[in-house]
Amino acid sequence: MTPPLRVQAAESVAVDPIGMLQIGGDPLRDVLGAIPRPIWVALVVGLVGLVVALVLGTLTTRLLVRLGVPDAIEGTAFERTARDFDTSTVEVLGSLVRVFVLAITVLLVFSVANVSVAFSFWTRAVQFLPQLFLALVILIVGVVVGDKVDLLINERLTGVKVPQIGVFPRIAKFTVFFVAVLVALSQLGVATLALVVLLGAYLFALVLLFTFAFSDMLKSGAAGSYLLLDQPYVIGDEVEIGGKRGVVQEVNLFVTHIENDGEEFIVPNRAVFEDGVVRIRD
Amino acid sequence: MAALSDLLGAVVSDVEGVFLFSPSSSHYERFADAELDVELVVVAPENAVGADPYVELPLEFTNVRDRIRFGIEGAFEQGLVEEGDAIACSVGVFGGDADGVIRVRIEESMRSGIYDLFANSRAEPGVIRDVFEVAIELGKKGQKGKPVGALFVVGDAGKVMNKSRPLSYNPFEKSHVHVGDPIVNVMLKEFSRLDGAFVISDAGKIVSAYRYLEPAAEGVDIPKGLGARHMSGAAITRDTNATAIVLSESDGLVRAFKGGQIILEIDPEEY
């Protein structure tokens, strides 16, 4: 609410001296009066723009801090790089907002002050500026989110002691980067058709891989969710699934553990739907 | 001062291994850099110093004997030490940093099965630890300030269910609650007023409450004076491959049974 009020106040202050100038007659006022009215307005607009830029930048930083963004992105590469330059991601975003508002102010000042230098160029610049700003923000967010995804998946996989496992977090990270770059570029109006095609092919391959490689897992998971929700048999029941007979020891999403005299069968849950279950009552 | 060094020298002379219990990283590095010609074993809840060999401590046993026993049995299992070895243990007896050095000679008679209880039970080590924590918590706070008793049978749930019968409707029917879930502490506190045992599966799912255990009690050898809850808990571990963790209502101690034997006894008030 404050910025518009400030504009009004500033304008009234600006009008007053001009009014006084017309009455007064001493040399100083003459000099001041020689400056044309648009210049004054431009000056005020510039000042207001400066204040708004500073306030908005600080507000953005504070808002992001309040939302817990610094904690959420702790340890990502972007944040660490920012730290190396004695700043932080939220500070960078705040500065970006400041620069954006300042740039708009400068253009506004030019147009108010009737500076007609390369006018068409500036109008196009004004139209382009928000897109550039958005593209930059998308890029930063993409990089930070990608890093965060990498960290999260890495944390998840720490228990799995396979050296090659490191490839999965990186794939996820670069996928996010790629999508962010794509969105940012299309925001700028750069031709991205080839990249979109590439993304499509990549996603198609991924989906294909999943459906083929993990179809059994998916089937078992679907059957398992039924078993967990409906519980046709529970731990302690004696059952026979696909020729494996014994006491149920454990039911989870993908498999059922059935134990029988020192033999423990780990049966995939899809067998429940493929072969059916025999519950043994005696 | 020479006499003092001699005193410590006598404790650590001719040891075949040095056990560091929860060492700080600087403490550990001093030993690691010294290149001692004896086995250096770290026993801690977390391998923060990246040591190898390392024995994971599931609970911070306040009883130093239990802690040392656990470390030694763990190292024995990994083949780091053998019977007859003398080892020096650097432990924190009064909590915090290491403040004592204890010399132990490993003998078969020391073997209490405390490491087996966690590492080689049917149930996962994390599940046993979680049940211990729940039992300790319950023993400390009681229910509405009054001491409560509880009996948890962990692992081999299918067989345990077949060797027991329900006393009433099972409150955990069609639920998917696992020990270690945040809600469990509160829930178990409420359900602990129910009679009977809690049955927990290998993976930590709470299968049932209100179970009346019906094991054969022959050949179960537990200290005299323990009540029916302990007796049935001990007996079911003889009949099945389960582990029983019992919170006594009368003396407030938490005891663990396996194979019909009492393995571990801890006082919740000390945790």
pLDDT for B231-242, tens place per residue? 999 999 998 999
ipTM (interface pTM): 0.76
- Per residue of chain A (282 residues), give pLDDT as tens: 444 444 444 444 444 444 444 544 567 777 767 777 777 888 888 899 899 989 988 898 888 888 888 888 777 778 888 888 888 888 888 888 888 888 888 878 877 776 665 566 767 777 787 888 888 888 888 888 888 888 888 888 776 666 677 788 888 888 888 889 888 888 888 877 888 888 889 889 988 888 888 888 888 999 999 998 888 998 999 999 988 899 999 998 899 999 988 889 999 999 999 989 999 887
Q: Which of the listed residues A117, A150, A170 is the one where a domain comes to its end?
A: A117
Token pair for A281: 């009552």
B161 closest CB neighbour out of A228, A236, A252: A236
Token pair for A272: 């429940």
Q: Which domains does chain B have, with CATH numbers?
A: 2-112 (3.40.1380.20), 121-270 (3.40.1700.10)
What residues 124-183 of chain B have any CB closer than 8 A to a CB of chain A? 156-162, 173-174, 176
Token pair for B117: 């209880």
CB-based contacts of B42, cutoff 8 Å, min separation 6: B19, B20, B23, B28, B49, B51, B53, B54, B55
Has residue A130 been placed in a domain? no
Has residue A40 been placed in a domain? yes
Q: Which of the listed residues A90, A117, A144 is the one where a domain comes to its end?
A: A117
Number of domains in chain A: 2
Q: Which helix (H) or strand (E) holds A278?
A: strand A277-279
CA distance A236 to B113: 28
Has residue A258 been placed in a domain? yes
Residue A248 with chain B: CB contacts under 8 Å: 158
Bridging pattern class, strands B164-166 and B197-200: unpaired
Has residue A195 been placed in a domain? no
Has residue A165 been placed in a domain? no
A247 CA to chain B: closest CA distance, Å?
A: 6
B59 CA to chain A: closest CA distance, Å?
A: 20
Residue with tokens 């302990």: B230
Q: Which of the listed residues A88, A117, A146 is the one where a domain comes to its end?
A: A117
Has residue A51 been placed in a domain? yes
CA distance B21 to B71: 8
User: What local confidence, expressed as pLDDT, does residue A119 receive?
Assistant: 63
Residue A252 with chain B: CB contacts under 8 Å: 203
Q: Which of B80, B135, B133, B143 is nearest to B106 (CA)?
A: B80
Report yes or no: B142 and B261 within 8 Å, Cβ to Cβ.
no
CATH number of residue A250's parent domain: 2.30.30.60
Has residue A13 been placed in a domain? yes
Token pair for A254: 């993908």
- Which residue range forms the structural domain that includes residue A241? 217-279
A→B contacts (Cβ < 8 Å), by residue, are 228, 231, 234-236, 238, 247-250, 252, 257, 259
A90 CA to chain B: closest CA distance, Å?
A: 32
CA distance A170 to B143: 50
Q: Please state the pTM of the whole predicted model.
A: 0.66
Residue A257 with chain B: CB contacts under 8 Å: 202
A77 CA to chain B: closest CA distance, Å?
A: 24
Residue in B closest to A253 by C-alpha = B176
Give the angle subtended at the CA of B170 by the CAs of B164 and B175, to the nearest 5°.
120
User: What local confidence, expressed as pLDDT, does residue A2 receive?
Assistant: 44
Report yes or no: B66 and B113 within 8 Å, Cβ to Cβ.
no
Has residue A268 been placed in a domain? yes
CB-based contacts of B150, cutoff 8 Å, min separation 6: B135, B138, B188, B192, B198, B246, B247
B158 has a pLDDT exceeding 60:
yes
- State whether A235 and B174 contact (CB < 8 Å): no
Starting at the edge strand that comes first in sequence, how are the strands of the sheet with A255-260 ordered?
A: A263-268, A255-260, A244-251, A238-241, A277-279
Residue in B closest to A231 by C-alpha = B174
